[in-house]
Structure 1
C-alpha cells in the first residue's frame, strides 16, 4: 500500500469513527424537558434628519440712558443680540408654524429690583430673503406705557406662519431694540437680569 492510499484510508476511518460516535450519542440521549425563551426588542423610530434650532449671538445687551422725554421717567436703551432660527430638516411637518418668544426676569442690584414689566422691546427682522414667510413681533411697551413689558413669556420676537414655507429660506435672524423705563426715583446701581428666548413649533 502506498503512502497516499494509506493517508486516504486513515482519513476515512477517522471520519467514520466520528460519525459512529455521533450516532451512538444520539441513540442514548432522551429528551427530559424543554423550555421557551421570549425574545423582545423595542425598535424606536429613527430621529428625523436635520432639525429646527435656535441660537443666540454671544454677548449681552447693555442698556445706556437716553432722554425719555418725560421728567418723571428715566429710560435706558440697548439692542438684543441677534437671534437665529435655522431649519435644515429634510421633511418639515405639514400644518405647523414656529415662533420665538421672550421673557425677562427682574433686574436686580443687591437688594434693589426693577420688575420685568419695566423692560420692553421692538423686534426687528434682519433676514432680507423670502417673501413674508416670517414676520417680526409687535412692539411691547412697559408698565409705564400702560403695557405689561417682557414679563409673560408670550412676547413674540419672530413668527413663521408656515414652517414649511419658512424652511425654503432655511435661516432667519432677528433682534430687538430694548428699552427700560423706570421712575425717576429708581435706586442707583448696576442692575442685571436675564431674557429667556424660546423657540416653539405648534399646529395651526
Structure 2
C-alpha cells in the first residue's frame, strides 16, 4: 500500500506541474549559482594515476615459460607548494601483490612481475625514474635486480644534490613496461594483482 500511494502521489504532482506550465508557457526564471573557493595556502604534493587498471597480454613465450607484457598507466607527481623545506625530497614506490586466480587457481607470486620505468617526461634532470626490476626467474640485468616487485621499488623520485637544495614546483610523469613470467604449465584462467603506488616525502 505504501508503494502504491507513492506512485499515485507522483502522478498527481506531475499533473499539477503540467497544468501550471500550460497556464503560462512564457514564464522562466534563473538561479545564480555561487561558490567561494578559498586559496590553498601552501599548495600540495600529490600523486595521480591515469587509469586504475591495465591488462597484460602474452608475448615472447617459449617452451620453458610463458610471458605476458603490458604498460603501467601514466603516473604523475605534481608539486604546487610555495614553501618547501630545503633538503626535502619525494619518491614514488611500487609494490605488487600475488596474482590471484578468479577460479581458485594457484597464485602466481608477485616476484614474477617486473618493470622497466620509462624516462621522466619533462626531461629536466631534477626528477629521475627508477631502475629496471626483472622477474625472479629472469637473469639479472643489474646485480641483484631479479627480485620482482615484492617490495617498494622506485618508480619516480626527486633528486637533490644536498640538504640545502630547494625543490622546485612542477609536474612530472612517467610510465613503465610491465613483464610477468610464469612456468609453461601455469593453470589457465583469469588472474589479477594489485600494484600499489605510494608517494613519500623525506628530508636529508
TM-score if structure 2 supplies the norm length?
0.70
* Alpha-carbon contact 2:88-2:166 (below 8 Å) kept: no
Which stretches in structure 2 are left out of the alignment for 5+ residues?
1-39, 140-145
Q: Aligned with 1:188: secondary structure?
A: coil
Residue aligning to 2:70: 78
| Per-residue Cα deviation, 1:142-195 (whole angstroms, up to 9, x for no partner) | 111151100012x10011113965524x00001100000001011011111110
Paired residues in the alignment total 154
Distance 1:72 1:100 in 2: 34
* Alpha-carbon contact 2:86-2:167 (below 8 Å) kept: no
Distance 2:147 2:181 in 1: 12
Residue aligning to 2:168: 167
Which stretches in structure 1 are left out of the alignment for 5+ residues?
1-46
* Alpha-carbon contact 1:134-1:166 (below 8 Å) kept: no
| Per-residue Cα deviation, 1:76-102 (whole angstroms, up to 9, x for no partner) | 000000000000001011111111000
* Alpha-carbon contact 1:83-1:174 (below 8 Å) kept: yes
Q: Give the 4+ runs in structure 1 shifted more than 4 A.
A: 163-166
* Alpha-carbon contact 1:98-1:162 (below 8 Å) kept: no
How large is the RMSD of aligned CA atoms in angstroms?
1.9
Q: Aligned with 1:175: secondary structure?
A: strand
Q: Which has the larger radius of gyration?
A: 1
Q: How does 1:49-68 map to 2 (within 5 A)?
A: 49-68=42-61
Which residue, out of 156, 159, 175, partners 1:158? Answer: 156
TM-score if structure 1 supplies the norm length?
0.70
1:127 Cα offset (Å): 1.7
Is 2:139 the counterpart of 1:140?
no
Structure in which a larger fraction of residues adopt helix: 1
- Bigger mean CA deviation after superposition, 54-63 or 157-166: 157-166
